[in-house]
Structure 1
């Protein structure tokens, strides 16, 4: 009897293993067939109404200014996505202040609007030159690529086309545009002037001037670009060292103003009516002075730590 039970148990276990094996094999073949069908007959993905509205806004002229600001801040978001994040942030912060911290509806709306407005301003203030900084950080690599291209016998136009394929963003987009314009017959000087209008940094001005002077007067372009690459790398290392040494002060300028606000909200959640004195005339005066002090200290700290290299 025990032998029969053991045989039946082993047969059941083997059947289960075979069933799982054939089921997984069937799923694998099914997925491969689906991939082939998608390749042969691609289906157009349906978009929701929100996505369609977002695409229309991104393509409208009213979004160009916001798109340009996001690009200069090196924020990889579409204007519709940025606005959508603000809408979700508004709803979330309103629920937090009204439900968790027990603030009134009007106060919650004002605080939420103030935080989002300040966040919008600080984002573009703190990252207003981030695009140029990222672009300038790549200039040393660009100079080295152009120098190697010149050593191998390529022209400046061919070197720019090489950089457009080898460099990463954000310089890739600029050099791709330069390469297309040069292939269409636009003079190099005019192409560089257009890029200088979009990137007015000193490093790129020096880079553009070097290319134009070497093109007009001749000379060893490879050696000049190689020397410039070493100089830009030394400047980048110095800039990163300064940012590392001043990182504590820059984070303090953000954390210190946020701490008393958080403590005030927590005390209001623990003790009912804790913020009621702030609605009186002396309380309003104190709040105004407090906000002005926070804003002044923030800009002073950022100004002191903003060391030009």
Structure 2
């Protein structure tokens, strides 16, 4: 299939713009050290560096991000539990956007200007959507680990250990994200922060309703006294029951979620198959402005229908 000069020009401009943005970021902003997260990142850092204060500052830097666009992307990466740099994320965005642009402009083909717009939106949207989904998975895993952490702290308190030692034991026994997050709380208390402040910092890093219950319970018991071990054990049982109910609801609504995915993806799949079988099927309509309007209307309808269906099967309690 011949490629006209206008398509090549748009491709060159698109690639140059993405690489230019990446180069500006690398020149003016910091990058984060790369490396794969292991079961408990805090313990791995402590093995490499015996200075606990430096380890705490490194973990704080990873979870709080900075300012501007770089800080926003840094925060997204940290929330997803990843440790690669923002520059690597920009490279991924560039590759995704350029790949979508080439696919639309050369293989389909779609007019270069539309391909450029869709490619740019895809290059930014798909990686951020992936990070968002991984961040949700990390919060979900934190929620699953929370009852185990509460049980560990309750048993340690019954054995006569102070609360800081009980939380430190839970941070060492559990994998990430729970292990590192509790470890940050322990380190902050070790180096001078009040318990209430350290727990509020934890609530800021992890947005989870069950965690709010834990923080409120610990704060009240710390100020008024009482049997904290029993409170934590009861809270663990309540959270387990809620999680069991949540899993039952997900099982009952699985058919609705699957239907939403099928209905949303099926038009694109059928269109791609038709184009592969008969490339000239849509050829007479691609240059028609009315077809473009109908296509945008169809895309809007698909997105609206998917949103409604997913909202119908997304139960919150």
TM-score in terms of structure 1 length: 0.72
- Out of 163, 176, 187, which is 2:170 matched to? 163
Q: Which residue of 1 aligns with 2:181?
A: 174
- Cα offsets for 1:41-70 (capped at 9, x unmatched): xxxxxxxxx9x9599642485422112123
| Superposed counterparts of 1:33-52, under 5 Å | none
1:220 and 2:217 aligned:
no
Q: Report 1:99-138 matches (<5 A).
A: 99-120=106-127, 122-123=129-130, 129-138=136-145
Contact 1:67 1:78 in 2 (8 A): yes
Which residue does the alignment assign to 1:150?
157
1:304 matched to 2:277? The reply is no
Aligned equivalents of 1:224, 1:164: Cα separation in 2: 19
CA distance in 1, matches of 2:28, 2:168: 31
Distance across 2 between alignment mates of 1:103 and 1:277: 11
Compared CA separation, residues 294 and 70, structure 1 to 2 (3 A): farther
Rounded to whole Å, the distance in 2 between the matches of 1:276 and 1:58 is 49
Unaligned runs of 5+ in 2: 1-22, 33-65
Q: Deviations over 1:85-131 (max 9, x none)?
A: 22222233334334443445444334433434443564466566444
Of structures 1 and 2, the one with the larger relative CO (CA 8 A, separation 6+) is: 2
Calculate the aligned-residue CA RMSD, in Å. 3.0
- The answer to whether the 8 Å contact 2:157/2:229 transfers is yes
Q: Equivalents in 2 of 1:76, 1:308: separation in Å?
A: 31
Query: Are 1:58 and 2:65 an aligned pair?
Result: no
* Aligned equivalents of 1:220, 1:226: Cα separation in 2: 10
Structure 1 position 287 matched with structure 2 position 291: no
| Counterpart Cα distance in 2 of 1:86 and 1:275 | 30
Unaligned 5+ residue runs, structure 1? 1-49
SS of aligned partner of 2:221: helix
Shift of 1:296: 0.7
- Structure-2 change in CA distance of 1:229 and 1:255 (3 Å): same
Matches within 5 A, 1:21-32: none
Question: Secondary structure at 2:175's aligned position in 1?
Answer: coil
Corresponding residue for 1:7?
Answer: none
Deviations 1:180-233 (A, max 9, x none): 111123211121122222334221111011112222232222222112112211
User: CA deviation digits over 1:150-200, x for unaligned, max 9?
Assistant: 011101111111122111111222211111111123211121122222334
